[in-house]
Structure 1
Amino acid sequence: MARRLALITGASAGIGAAFARIYASHGYDVALTARRLDRLEALAAEIRMRFGVEAYAISADLADPGGVDVVLAAIAAEGREIDALVNNAGYGLPGTYDQTSWTDQSAFLQVMLTSVCALTHKVLPGMVERRFGRIVNVASLAGLVPGAAGHTLYAATKSFLVKFSQSLHLENLANGVHVSALCPGFTLSEFHDVNGTRAQVSQSLPAWMWLGADEVAAAGYEAAEANRPVCVTGAPNKAIAVLAKIIPDEWALALIANQGGKFRKV
């Protein structure tokens, strides 16, 4: 039987690259997409040599409304179908809502929300038909707690991904398609370097609050295999998620307001 294929978005570094290695280690061929082709090609070469599977590097910008179709066309051109989808591409957009441009916010929504929904909508029917599929939507602990000042749409989009994943999970219980929302907390990756908050978070958070990208991706893979609709990584993050559910909303919001300024670049 031919190997299954996993598509990972935002695969050039961090959690996305870790997911690519995890799926390849379990015998999947992988399709890697991000904007930085040089990094994708280097990772693809590593995966081929290390795991003996096929790896495709596809350069695409998911901020472009046509980006999803570029990715899917490249995969179709190889005669392949997608068996696992990891919607990982994402970033933070510092600044308050009124002080950031709509052009930037619109592109943010395209990457974080619209492209996720479009990719999932386009690959899901084939998964259902074949009675096999794995979908991991990389959300965040931020989607399970009150929103903070700055990065205004970040928590909102991550909360959407949690609810989206839960609904898809229920809709596909009998279809052989597993859907999970992965909710990591602070992760050792390039995320904070890209959005300019590395200094704040490094100074404000203890080492035990951080997980490695490999740990996060492994938890996401296991959650999808077990068909758990939501996976929060790490004991501290699980505790925070539970606390956010049980304390009054106004208390939770006050805590977020007090802590948020310490590690977010507003």
Structure 2
Amino acid sequence: MNRKTAVITGASSGIGQELARLFAADGYDLIVSARRVERLQQLASELRDACGTAVRIVPMDIAQPGAADALWQVIRDIAPAVDVLVNNAGVGDSGPFALERPEAIERMIQLDISALTLLTRHALPGMIERGHGRILNVASLAGFQPGGPGMSVYYASKSYVLSFSRGIRRELRGSGVSVTALCPGPTRTEFEETAGAQGTLLFYWSRPMEARTVALAGYRAMQRGCGVAVPGLLNKLLAAGARFSPAAIALEVNRFLLAVRR
């Protein structure tokens, strides 16, 4: 029997790495992509030994213009049929927008929005033609918020991912293809350090979930064909509450939580 193939971006650490382990344990062959080739090689070796999984690595920085198209061409050369696409790669930054480096802003938009959108566009025609497929887009609990003063671009990018995923999911009804948005709250990954969020009150007061727990929640929701997955009871309550909180109050709360702890 032919094994299914899953493509995972940002697979070198955190949620993406844990998702790769879950797919491998479930019998999928993998195409994994990230910037750090050494980590991808280590992951591939681990999964081959543990699960007998065929793992192809594609070291690439898809935050660069045109990189998403180039990545998809490599994927098509490896596997003509992709059963699952996981858009996990993402980046964040914190601080007043007026002081953020323009190149950091451009990188966030390119990786969190443009690459995710283009890879989804490339994957869908084949999935629709075959009558089955799964797309898992990693958004954030931030996507339910009206904005995040101090992380304005990041919060906006995750709102886009959530809205985009919901929209195309409705377009695909009846096609056999499902789209799931995974919306974790604070999670124990490298993100809090690379995004500069480690020193904020949000991360100081919260109890981050483990990446494995978040990945498992997203994986199960995707396999069930769910539209949105919010891991953790408290996060579910916060996501539901965001619909009823006045935007002005939510913005003030977020401004306070995203302030740097003194």
Same fold (TM over 0.5): yes
AA partner of residue 229 (structure 2): C
Counterpart of 1:35 in structure 2 is: 35
Counterpart of 1:193 in structure 2 is: 193
Equivalent residues of 1:8, 1:31 under 8 A apart: yes
Q: Deviations over 1:241-263 (max 9, x none)?
A: 11211222222222222222156
Counterpart of 1:231 in structure 2 is: 229
Runs of 4+ in 1 over 6 A off after TM superposition: none
Partners of 1:200 and 1:148 in 2: how far apart?
12
AA partner of residue 158 (structure 2): K
AA partner of residue 228 (structure 2): V
Q: Aligned-pair distance for 1:166? A: 0.7
AA partner of residue 132 (structure 1): H
Counterpart of 1:221 in structure 2 is: 219
Flag the 1:262–1:102 CA change in 2: closer, same or farther, 3 A: closer
Counterpart of 1:124 in structure 2 is: 124
What SS class does the counterpart of residue 147 from structure 2 fall into? coil
Counterpart of 1:180 in structure 2 is: 180
Q: Aligned-pair distance for 1:144? A: 0.5
Partners of 2:190 and 2:130 in 1: how far apart?
36
Q: Aligned-pair distance for 1:134? A: 0.6
Flag the 1:54–1:230 CA change in 2: closer, same or farther, 3 A: same
Alignment RMSD: 1.8
May I ask how many residue pairs the two structures share in their alignment?
262
Partners of 2:86 and 2:51 in 1: how far apart?
19
AA partner of residue 234 (structure 2): P
Equivalent residues of 1:178, 1:225 under 8 A apart: no
User: Equivalent residues in 2 for 1:17-36 (5 A)?
Assistant: 17-36=17-36
The worse-fitting range, judged by mean Cα deviation, of 197-206 and 52-61 is 197-206
AA partner of residue 108 (structure 2): F
Counterpart of 1:247 in structure 2 is: 245
Partners of 1:195 and 1:251 in 2: how far apart?
25
What SS class does the counterpart of residue 174 from structure 2 fall into? coil
The worse-fitting range, judged by mean Cα deviation, of 227-236 and 248-257 is 248-257
Q: Aligned-pair distance for 1:71? A: 1.9
What SS class does the counterpart of residue 168 from structure 2 fall into? helix
Counterpart of 1:211 in structure 2 is: 209
What SS class does the counterpart of residue 229 from structure 2 fall into? strand
Equivalent residues of 2:65, 2:110 under 8 A apart: yes
Partners of 2:100 and 2:203 in 1: how far apart?
26
Q: Aligned-pair distance for 1:24? A: 1.1
Q: Aligned-pair distance for 1:79? A: 4.0
Flag the 1:203–1:234 CA change in 2: closer, same or farther, 3 A: closer
Q: Deviations over 1:125-183 (max 9, x none)?
A: 00011111110110000010231222221111101111111111111121111101100
Equivalent residues of 1:182, 1:231 under 8 A apart: yes
The worse-fitting range, judged by mean Cα deviation, of 209-218 and 125-134 is 209-218
User: Equivalent residues in 2 for 1:57-136 (5 A)?
Assistant: 57-136=57-136
What is the TM-score with the length of structure 2 in the denominator?
A: 0.94
Partners of 2:103 and 2:22 in 1: how far apart?
35
Equivalent residues of 2:201, 2:258 under 8 A apart: no
Partners of 2:195 and 2:153 in 1: how far apart?
14
Partners of 1:254 and 1:94 in 2: how far apart?
16
Counterpart of 2:257 in structure 1 is: 259
Equivalent residues of 2:162, 2:181 under 8 A apart: yes
Identity of aligned residues (%): 38
Q: Aligned-pair distance for 1:202? A: 8.6
Flag the 1:140–1:212 CA change in 2: closer, same or farther, 3 A: same
What SS class does the counterpart of residue 222 from structure 2 fall into? helix
Partners of 2:201 and 2:216 in 1: how far apart?
24
Equivalent residues of 1:204, 1:262 under 8 A apart: no
Counterpart of 1:15 in structure 2 is: 15
